[in-house]
Amino acid sequence: QKEVEQDPGPLSVPEGAIVSLNCTYSNSAFQYFMWYRQYSRKGPELLMYTYSSGNKEDGRFTAQVDKSSKYISLFIRDSQPSDSATYLCAFYTGTASKLTFGTGTRLQVML
Amino acid sequence: NAGVMQNPRHLVRRRGQEARLRCSPVKGHSHVYWYRQLPEEGLKFMVYLQKENIIDESGMPKERFSAEFPKEGPSILRIQQVVRGDSAAYFCASSPLDRAAGELFFGEGSRLTVL
């Protein structure tokens, strides 16, 4: 079983739609949960960062963590064409040096 | 306020040649990480360095790959005798000492193509 599972997409939605992106993980040691956004040919940029189970909201973005199910989600409300990018979930144990990334979900928001 | 600077952005090498990738972290950041991204795969950790020290190189291939972060100058990822399988995007990231774990600032990457 992979440590992190993420549907690669692509996911195409119309402008204004609500987008749901998800990752599952198997490592119980993961304590920090992140979403990075990566535009084509660019480096990833941190979008959302959470520590505990529950929801965290930032503008149109909501990150949700369910530690009991080992499942995290990113919701994008009122999606815009500028949201078209690859979204990477990432995990950190708090003690190791590295982040563990999902493979990324490619999102395209159509006009 | 410059972010993480990587160069070259694109590098083409023939099999057997050497590739050197450079990374200047965000000013004031003392932690540097290198990740590799293969097509259709996620980012894979390679190495974590602080000034003049390799802290964790558990993700580095045992042969041909090396990294350094000298007291002065950029961090260097060096790949000797490149093979086609080394073709990938190599990303450098940095973080400041006082930021929460996992908050990395990435450069735009160096894309290596091995012919």
Whether residue A6 lies within 8 A of chain B, CB to CB, comes out as: yes
CB contact under 8 A, A97 and B55: yes
CB contact under 8 A, B43 and A88: yes
Whether residue A103 lies within 8 A of chain B, CB to CB, comes out as: yes
Token pair 């563990």 is found at A100
pLDDT at B57: 94
Coil, strand or helix: which one is B82? coil
Q: What residues in chain B have per-residue pLDDT under 70?
A: 1, 97-102
pLDDT at A2: 84
Beta bridge partners of A64: A55, A73
Reference A98, options B44, B27, B5, B94; nearest CA is B44
pLDDT at A37: 97
pLDDT at B103: 84
Reference B5, options B29, B26, B19, B34; nearest CA is B26
b/e map of A11-40 (b: 16 or more CB within 10 Å)? bebeeebebebbbbbeeeebbbbbbbbbee
A39-98: per-residue pLDDT in tens? 999 999 999 999 888 999 999 999 999 999 999 999 999 999 999 999 999 999 887 778
How do beta strands B88-95 and B65-68 pair? unpaired
Whether residue A29 lies within 8 A of chain B, CB to CB, comes out as: no
CB contact under 8 A, B109 and A97: no
Q: Residue A102 and residue A88: Cα distance in Å, rounded? A: 6
CA-based R_g, chain B, Å: 13
